[in-house]
Chain A
Amino acid sequence: MRNSTLLVLGAGVAVMAAGMVMPGWLTFLLTLALAKGLVVMGLLLLMKAGLVSFGQGLYYCLGAYCVGVAGDYLETQNALFLMLIAVVVCVALAAVIGLLLCRYRDIFFAMFSMAFSMILYGVLVKSSAFGSSDGFNVKPPLLFGWTPTGEPGPLMAYGLAVTAVTVVGIFVWNYLRSPMGYAGEAVRENEIRVEYLGSSVRRIIYIKYLLAAAMAGLGGGITALAAGHIDPEMAYWTTSGEFVFIALMGGTGHVAGPVIGAVLFELIRTYAFQISPYTWQMILGIALLAIILYLPKGVWSLVERFTKEKTS
Chain B
Amino acid sequence: MKLVIAMLMDGVIYASWLFIIAAGLTLIYGVMRILNMAHGSFYAIGAYSGASLVGFYLAGGYPPWGAYLMLLGAAIVSGALVGILIERGLLRIMYGRDEVVMILVTYAILLILEDVIKLIWGVDAYFAYQPYTLLGRTKMAGISFANYDIALIFVAASICFLLWWGLNRTRQGKLLQAVIHDRDTAAFLGINVTKMFSITFVIGAVLGALAGSLTAPGISVMPGIGVEVIILAFAVVVIGGLGSVGGALMGALIVGLARSAAVHLYPEAELFVIYGVMGLVLAFRPQGLFAIATARKI
CB distance A282 to B115 under 8 Å? yes
CB within 8 Å of B: which A169-214 residues: 191-192, 195, 201
Contact of B242 among A107, A116, A195 (CB under 8 A): A107
Q: A107-B242, A122-B274, A126-B270 are in contact. Are A285 and B109 (CB under 8 A)?
A: yes
A125 at the A/B interface (Cβ < 8 Å)? Answer: yes
CB distance B115 to A241 under 8 Å? no
Stretch at the interface among B148-156, B203-211, B230-238: B230-238
Stretch at the interface among A15-23, A286-294, A297-305: A286-294
For residue A136, which residues in chain B have a CB less than 8 angstroms away from its CB? none
CB within 8 Å of A: which B72-95 residues: 90, 93-94
CB within 8 Å of B: which A261-293 residues: 278-282, 284-286, 288-289, 292-293
Q: Give Cα A32–Cα B286 distance, bound, in whole angstroms.
A: 36
B283 at the A/B interface (Cβ < 8 Å)? Answer: yes
How far, in Å, is A44 (CB) from chain B's closest CB? 15
CB distance A278 to B105 under 8 Å? no
For residue A280, which residues in chain B have a CB less than 8 angstroms away from its CB? 115
A115 at the A/B interface (Cβ < 8 Å)? Answer: yes
For residue B35, which residues in chain A have a CB less than 8 angstroms away from its CB? 107, 111
CB distance B270 to A281 under 8 Å? no
Q: Give Cα A284–Cα B295 distance, bound, in whole angstroms.
A: 33
CB distance B270 to A108 under 8 Å? no
Contact of B298 among A52, A201, A237, A238 (CB under 8 A): A201
A112 at the A/B interface (Cβ < 8 Å)? Answer: yes
Q: A122-B271, A192-B298, A195-B298 are in contact. Are A278 and B119 (CB under 8 A)?
A: yes
Interface of B is mostly: helix
Give chain A's interface residue range (CB within 8 Å of chain B): 35 or more
B112 at the A/B interface (Cβ < 8 Å)? Answer: yes
Q: In this complex, what residue of A is CB-closest to B37?
A: A241
CB within 8 Å of A: which B87-145 residues: 90, 93-94, 99-101, 103-105, 107-112, 114-116, 118-119, 123
B159 at the A/B interface (Cβ < 8 Å)? Answer: no
Q: Give Cα A126–Cα B105 distance, bound, in whole angstroms.
A: 32
For residue A52, which residues in chain B have a CB less than 8 angstroms away from its CB? 100, 103
How far, in Å, is B21 (CB) from chain A's closest CB? 16
CB distance B270 to A115 under 8 Å? no
Stretch at the interface among A97-105, A138-146, A151-159: A97-105
Number of interface residues of B (CB under 8 A): 48
CB distance A114 to B234 under 8 Å? yes
CB distance B268 to A126 under 8 Å? yes
CB distance A281 to B114 under 8 Å? yes
CB distance B100 to A111 under 8 Å? no
CB within 8 Å of A: which B156-190 residues: none
CB distance B115 to A279 under 8 Å? yes
Q: A123-B272, A191-B296 are in contact. Are A248 and B238 (CB under 8 A)?
A: no
For residue B199, which residues in chain A have a CB less than 8 angstroms away from its CB? none
Q: Give Cα A201–Cα B110 distance, bound, in whole angstroms.
A: 34
For residue B111, which residues in chain A have a CB less than 8 angstroms away from its CB? 281-282, 284-285, 288
Q: In this complex, what residue of A is CB-closest to B102?
A: A107
CB distance A279 to B119 under 8 Å? yes
A60 at the A/B interface (Cβ < 8 Å)? Answer: no
Q: Give Cα A292–Cα B119 distance, bound, in whole angstroms.
A: 25
How far, in Å, is B97 (CB) from chain A's closest CB? 8
